[in-house]
Structure formats: C-alpha cells, structure tokens
C-alpha cells in the first residue's frame, strides 16, 4: 500500500508493539503529528510539558516494562531538549528510540530556522543514530532502530527525519522475514571450567550484581546461583530489586554509599564474582585498592567493560542470565556456614539507621519504611538524584526487578517525575511513587501538569530540607562548612504549587503525620504531592570519601 512517510512511521511503531509515545509537537513534525491523530485509536500519545520530560518518560516506560520506550520531538530546540534524557538512557543501557524532525532536505546544512545537527550532537550518547534522506529507506531504518536499541547491551537510538520525507509517498512493504537470530557469543568451554574451579576453591565468595541482571532477566538465575554457591549478595544502585532484599543473603549496596556489611565482606572475601556491572567509580571508589587480595570473575555482555576500570582475572562474555544458568547446571551445592555466619553478624552489628535531632522530627528512613509497609514492598519507586535517591535505595524494601527507576550513570536531577509518568503509563495498575528532593523537584515540577492533564496517578514525595543536600553534605565534610550556593533560599509553597497544577497535596511535618498522611494520599487514585519536611543535617551514611578505599566507609558524622 502507498503511505506517506509519517504513516510509515506509525505502521512501523505498530509492528514493534508500541502502544504509547511521549513527545511535544512542532513545525518539523507536523506531518508526524497529523498521522498520530489518524492513528490515535491505536497509538496513545502523551504530550509532556517539556521535551526532556518526554525523553525521561520514555526511559521510565522502558525500565519498568522491559519494552522499548519512544519519544518524539521537533527540530532545533525540541531535539536538543531530548539530549539529557538520551544521555541518561545511554549511561544506564536503557532501550529508547527517539524520533526527531528536521528541516527539509534542501535546507540541511544551511543554518536554517530551527536546524541543528542532532545526529552529530547525539553521536557520543546513542548506540546508533540515523539521518534518513530517502523515504524508501524509512521503514527499514525505523525497524533497525528498534532492533539495535533492544539487543545486546541495550541503549538509545535516534532517528532524524527531514520534514519533507514525512509528506512524501512510498510503497509500504511488510518487514522481510527475520534473519535467524544469532546466539550471543558464549564463553569458551575452557573459561567455564576455569570459573567452576575458582568457585570450587572459594571459601568466602562475594556475589555482586549490577543493572545487567535486570536487563537480561537474570534475577531468578542469580538467586539460584547465590544459593548454590552459598554466598552473600550485594547490588549496585541499578540492580535494586534484582535480588530480593528480604533474603538473608542480601547485604545492601556496595560502594560510596554502600553498607558496612558489604565493605567488611569485600575486605574479607576470597573470590569476587561480578555479574552485569561496569565497575563504576562510585562502586570502586579507589580502583587501586579494590579487591586486590582476591581473584575477580566478571560476567558481562559488553567486552568493552572488561579491564576498563579494573583488571579482572576471568572474563565471561555473554548474556548474564544464560551464563548464570549454565553455571547453575554445572555447579554442585556448596556450603560456607562460617562465612555466612560472619555476614549475619555484621548485618546485626551495622544496621542502617537514622535519628532526628528533634524527637518529633521526620527521618527519611521512617517515611520509606512506612511506604514499604503500606505498599507491601510492591510499588514502583522512581527517584531524582541526590540524598533522597540513596535513602530510597537504602530503606525501601525492593523485592522484584524493575521496581526501582533511577538515573545511576548520568545522575540526572529532574529525571524522576518524567520517569514516573512513563512507568505509570506502562504499568497502569501499579502504585508509582517518585521520591524527590526539593532541589530536583524544582527542575521538573512542570510535569505535574502532565500528570493532571492525563490523570496519571503518580505520587510525588518531596523530601524538603531547603538545601541541595548531597552537595551540602560534601561541603560539610570536605569544605569546612562553606555552604556555597547549596542553601536554596526559595519560598516555594509546594502545596499551593501542586494545587495550581490541579493536583492534590499534603504535608508531613512531624513523625506523627507520616502514616496518616500517606494513607490519605494512597486513598486517592489521582496525581498527588506530599511535601515532607526533614532536617537539612540528615546525611546519607555510610559514605566513602573520594579517593578512599571502599573497605573504609564513614559511619557517622
């Protein structure tokens, strides 16, 4: 059948199982939006308040569902407004397809109105990007974008389409039969045998899981592996929920804000097994002192991650789930009773805990643990970036994959509310809560308007301490209390702001408010904001100072 380029885009989205796109209209995508109107009964479109919000919403949709998220923006500033969201997805290996319009073909490269070289701009932050110059190649390009985004190490792909191509007509052909899918490269047999020998020899093994566990659907295989090896497990920020946190083997996070139990375990282990993690600097802290006393096995799908940040002794390249399942088939049951007893003792000796200077004051721990209770540990928790992000990872009990949606690699303030919108759209029956700080909330509060316009029932929980808490914490520790530009000095009334957008709002001011306010908010199935007042001197602990060993965290300030 003969279709316009814009209609071809719609048909390709339907081929890929896309039910929702996030975006913002503009001149260069008028034909695409006209086609969206035509296809509105099959493709839902959410118009965000800002293109960055659309990118974050597509990201949250993808992280929470495992499907590829889609966002659309016009040329020039519309396209550049996507850049931070694309970079966020790239750093955390999230499958997103961003579709941008551009000026007509004959105007490219002439500094035309609202023209930017968006493929050049996004080259370092996409798995691949395309500038389509022939409408006959449009369908196959869209198909390739989805294939690339959601294969191997996942990530964002951008497709830039000049406006005149979206109006041109072309014969639309169904996709060719898919080629036989190539199996992931699997480690040589010799490497499996070496891994099994190292696992057999270990008396104090440590299993560390990263975001690749969730991306590959390896959570069950990880649980079996830990049980078979009889080993404790720590998770990266991106793997929260990848291992059941109520499991006695779970030690918490490892790294700059990891638990002391995990720090003591890495100090005393005799084998470190890393699954689906890139060994970021926030985990290693000081790479020269990280696990120098024991061998390291690394399982990863991306060979570029081997020996990039730290040298490892054995590399197992491939899909994390497939490799763990193969190891599980071959691994006999191990028992390390003394080692596991040590782990249990450290957990008892060094629990995560917070106290308020005012006995009636609110601590994030009490709020988040109450949230866990009220939601049966089953909510999808999104976060912005800062102290509140770490508190959410520390104190909410994540039991399932894709429960925790946060910007780990790029650390994008303003990420959370857009991501929460996407997660809620992808999971309409779930309870979705965005945990924010007041600094982050000021960066994306406009997306409350989107939540209200589409009646997307997210909860925005703002830990309001009137400071940029994480930066201020560093200033307190390392800059002799010179709080340069971290006291926000804003007089924003969050309740009035939320009500101005059309959302309900509540305030938590004392410990006694926590449960009744949360219960009242949960009784509403509509957008709601909670202004949760906390002391500006509540810190994120433990904390490993920059350059220090991960084995020596600060436990109190």
Which is nearest to 406 in space by CA: 422, 391, 426, 385?
385
> What span, in angstroms and rounded, lies between the C-alpha atoms of 32 and 154?
26
Cα atoms found within 13 Å of the Cα of residue 123, Cβ hemisphere only: 5
Q: Which of 15, 38, 114, 520 is catalytic?
A: 114
Q: Which of 7, 10, 51, 223 is catalytic?
A: 51
Asked whether 377 and 347 are in contact (CB, 8 A), the reply is no
Q: What is the DSSP string of 475-537?
A: HHHHSTT--TT-B------HHHHHHHHT-EEEEE-SGGGHHHHHHHHHT--S-EEEEEE--TT
Q: Which of 251, 390, 443, 470 is catalytic?
A: 470
51 is catalytic: yes
What sign does the CA torsion over 442, 76, 129, 450 have?
positive
113 is catalytic: yes
Cα angle value 400/404/408 (rounded, 5°): 135
Q: Which residues of 500-513 are buried (b: 16+ CB within 10 A; e: fewer)?
A: ebebbbbebbebeb
Q: What's the Cα-to-Cα distance from 251 to each of 258, 281, 300, 394, 399, rounded to whole Å?
A: 9, 20, 22, 11, 14
197 is catalytic: no
380, β-bridge pairs: 432
| CA 531 from centre of chain | 24
Q: What is the DSSP letter of 181?
A: P
> What span, in angstroms and rounded, lies between the C-alpha atoms of 437 and 391?
11
Cα atoms found within 13 Å of the Cα of residue 90, Cβ hemisphere only: 17
Which is nearest to 505 in space by CA: 490, 520, 489?
520
Q: Which of 154, 163, 347, 536 is catalytic?
A: 163
Which is nearest to 542 in space by CA: 253, 241, 198?
253
Q: What is the DSSP letter of 312?
A: -
Query: Within a 10 A sphere around the Cβ of 203, how many other Cβ atoms?
Result: 11
Q: What is the DSSP letter of 27?
A: G
**What does the chain come to in residues?**
557
506, β-bridge pairs: 530
Q: What is the DSSP string of 161-176?
A: EEHHHHHSEEE--PPP
Active centre residues (catalytic): 51, 113-114, 163, 470
């Amino acid at each position: 059948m003969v279709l316009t380029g814009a209609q071809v885009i719609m048909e390709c989205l339907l081929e890929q199982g896309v039910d929702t796109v996030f975006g913002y209209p503009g001149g260069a995508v008028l034909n695409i939006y006209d086609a969206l109107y035509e296809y509105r009964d099959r493709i839902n479109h959410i118009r965000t308040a800002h293109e960055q919000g659309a990118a974050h919403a597509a990201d949250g949709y993808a992280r929470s569902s495992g499907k590829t998220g889609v966002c659309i923006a016009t040329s020039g500033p519309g396209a550049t407004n996507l850049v931070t969201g694309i970079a966020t997805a790239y750093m955390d290996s999230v499958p997103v397809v961003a579709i941008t319009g551009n000026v007509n073909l004959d105007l490219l490269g002439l500094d035309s109105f609202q023209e930017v070289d968006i493929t050049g701009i996004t080259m370092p932050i996409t798995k691949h990007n395309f500038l389509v110059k022939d409408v006959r190649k449009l369908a196959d390009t869209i198909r390739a974008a989805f294939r690339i985004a959601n294969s191997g190490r996942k990530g964002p792909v951008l497709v830039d389409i000049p406006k005149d191509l979206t109006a041109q007509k072309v014969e639309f052909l169904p996709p060719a039969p898919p080629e036989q899918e190539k199996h992931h490269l699997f480690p040589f047999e010799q490497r499996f045998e070496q891994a099994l020998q190292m696992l057999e020899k270990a008396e104090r093994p440590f299993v560390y899981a990263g975001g690749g566990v969730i991306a590959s659907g390896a959570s069950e295989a990880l649980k079996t592996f830990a049980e078979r090896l009889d080993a404790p497990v720590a998770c990266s920020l991106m793997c929260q929920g990848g291992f059941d946190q109520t499991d006695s083997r779970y030690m918490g996070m490892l790294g700059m804000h990891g638990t002391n139990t995990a720090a003591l375990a890495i100090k005393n282990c005799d084998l470190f097994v890393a699954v689906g993690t890139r060994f970021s600097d926030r985990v290693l802290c000081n790479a020269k002192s990280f696990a120098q006393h024991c061998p390291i096995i690394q399982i990863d799908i991306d060979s570029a991650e081997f020996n990039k940040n730290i040298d490892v002794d054995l590399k197992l390249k491939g899909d994390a789930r497939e490799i763990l399942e193969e190891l599980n088939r071959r691994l006999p049951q191990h028992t390390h009773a003394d080692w596991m007893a040590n782990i249990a003792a450290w957990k008892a000796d060094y629990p995560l805990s917070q106290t308020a200077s005012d006995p009636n004051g609110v601590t994030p721990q009490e709020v988040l643990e109450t949230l866990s209770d009220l939601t049966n540990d089953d909510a999808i928790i999104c976060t912005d970036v800062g102290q509140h992000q770490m508190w959410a990872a520390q104190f909410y009990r994540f039991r399932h994959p894709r429960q925790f949606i946060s910007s780990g690699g790029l650390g994008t303030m303003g990420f959370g509310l857009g991501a929460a919108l996407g997660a809620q759209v992808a999971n309409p029956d779930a309870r979705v809560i965005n945990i924010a700080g007041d600094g982050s909330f000021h960066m994306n509060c406009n997306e409350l308007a989107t939540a209200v316009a589409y009646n997307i029932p997210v909860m925005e929980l703002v830990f309001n301490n009137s400071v940029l808490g994480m930066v201020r914490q560093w200033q307190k520790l390392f800059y002799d209390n010179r709080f340069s530009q971290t006291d926000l000095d804003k007089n924003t009334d969050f309740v009035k702001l939320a009500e101005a957008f059309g959302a309900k709002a509540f305030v938590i001011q004392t410990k006694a408010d926590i449960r009744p306010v949360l219960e009242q908010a949960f009784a509403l199935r509509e957008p709601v904001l909670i202004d949760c007042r906390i002391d500006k001197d509540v810190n994120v602990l433990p904390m490993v100072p920059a350059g220090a060993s991960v084995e020596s965290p600060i436990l109190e300030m």
